[in-house]
Structure 1
Amino acid sequence: MNIKLITVGKLKEKYLKDGIAEYTKRLSRFAKMEIIELIDEKTPEKASIAQNNQIIAKEGGRIAEKIGPRDFVIVLAIEGKQLASEAFSKKLADVTVSGYSDITFVIGGSLGIDPLIKQRANMKMSFGLLTLPHQLMRLVLIEQIYRAFMIQQGSPYHK
């Protein structure tokens, strides 16, 4: 199993890097984890809707280049489906038995995700209505992926 996380923007905070490194290490017994950080476009302070749409489209183009044609793509989006950890674990298990060996998660930039990337997605997922910093969301997502595998193993980690 290969898991790819495509994110817009660089991770700067050491504590988040350390947490992500820890869960990536733990995940290595279940899957190969690849994190792809893409350049985020600078947004003018009083950008127009048209400027914002251009930025989203540019970032979307960069994301699209990193998605494989046979990837099962899960986009994190506020309008996506909310899943309990157990349901998320089952979804990942179901994806792997459906013939997918590559699962790609996408976390967009501060302005959101290009609608074309959302259309390409096999699934849109939400972690709730709260807005979280994208860098923190990476850590939360990777921990939940690890938790999903531990649930599949029947591990007490989830308790």
Structure 2
Amino acid sequence: MKITILCVGKIKEKYFRDAIAEYEKRLGRYCKLEIVEVADEKTPDGASEAEEQQIRRKEGERLLKYLEGKNCYVIALAINGKMLDSVALSEKVSDLMVKGNSHIVLVIGGSLGIADEVLKRADEKISFSKMTFPHQLMRVILLEQLYRSYRIINHEPYHK
């Protein structure tokens, strides 16, 4: 199975890059992992709703460009998505594999969220919390939960 983390922005902090590298290494035995970063837009202080909408739209166009022509199951991480616990996420991944989905793309938006056009393209929306997390941290959390999912799928121990 191929899993792509499609995200807006680069990781600047070394401690996040180190954590991401660790989970990439761990996940390597379970799936083919790809992390695709698209450029983020700078948000001016005191941006209006219209400016924020335009920023989301520009970032969304970059995300959709990656998805063009790809046969993949798209899951957007959105605050209003369905909440899953770790077991339910592992069941989702397992179910997608059984149904023949060979490529899952998980989308993490930028600091202003995900454009409506990308949410419409998504096959499903999931939420990790009603809280808002920095998108750099969300990438680490997502990778950890994917690793946990594969450990659960393979009946391997993992700390609770």
Judge same fold: TM > 0.5, yes or no.
yes
SS in 2 for 1:69: coil
Q: Which residue of 2 aligns with 1:9?
A: 9
Task: Tell me the residue number matched to 1:93.
Answer: 94
- The CA deviation at 1:99 is 1.8
Query: Residue 116 of structure 1: SS of its match in structure 2?
Result: helix
Q: Is the 8 A contact 1:151 1:158 kept in 2?
A: no
Q: Give 1:69 deviation, angstroms.
A: 3.0
The alignment's TM-score, normalised by the length of structure 1, stands at: 0.96
Q: How many aligned positions are there?
A: 159
Q: Map 1:41-120 onto structure 2 (within 5 A).
A: 41-67=41-67, 68-120=69-121
2:78 maps to a residue whose letter is A
Deviates more, 1:33-42 or 1:45-54: 45-54
- Long gaps (5+) in structure 1: none
Give the RMSD, CA atoms, in angstroms: 1.0
User: Who is 1:22 aligned against?
Assistant: 22
Q: What is the distance in 2 between the residues matched to 1:132 and 1:83?
A: 16
User: Matches of 2:136 and 2:65 in 1, distance apart?
Assistant: 21
Name the CA distance, whole Å, in 1 between partners of 2:126 and 2:117.
16
1:131 alignment counterpart: 132
Q: How far off is 1:48 after superposition?
A: 1.7
Kindly state the Cα deviation for residue 14 of structure 1 after the two structures are TM-superposed. Answer: 0.8
Q: Identity over aligned residues, as a percent?
A: 53
Contact 1:59 / 1:109 at 8 angstroms: preserved in 2? yes
The more displaced of 36-45 and 145-154 is 36-45
Measure, in 1, the Cα distance between the counterparts of 2:13 and 2:70. Answer: 33
Partners of 2:102 and 2:114 in 1: how far apart? 24
With over 3 angstroms needed to count, the CA separation of the structure-2 counterparts of 1:158 and 1:91, relative to structure 1, is farther
Once the two structures are TM-superposed, the CA of residue 158 in structure 1 deviates from its matched residue by 4.7
Q: Which moved more, 1:37-46 or 1:145-154?
A: 37-46
| TM-score normalised by the chain length of structure 2 | 0.96
Which amino acid letter does the alignment assign opposite residue 103 of structure 2?
A: D
Over 6 Å off, 4+ runs: none
Q: 1:46 offset after TM fit, Å? A: 2.0
Q: Structure 2 stretches of 5 or more lacking a match?
A: none
What amino acid does structure 2 have at the position aligned with 1:104?
A: V
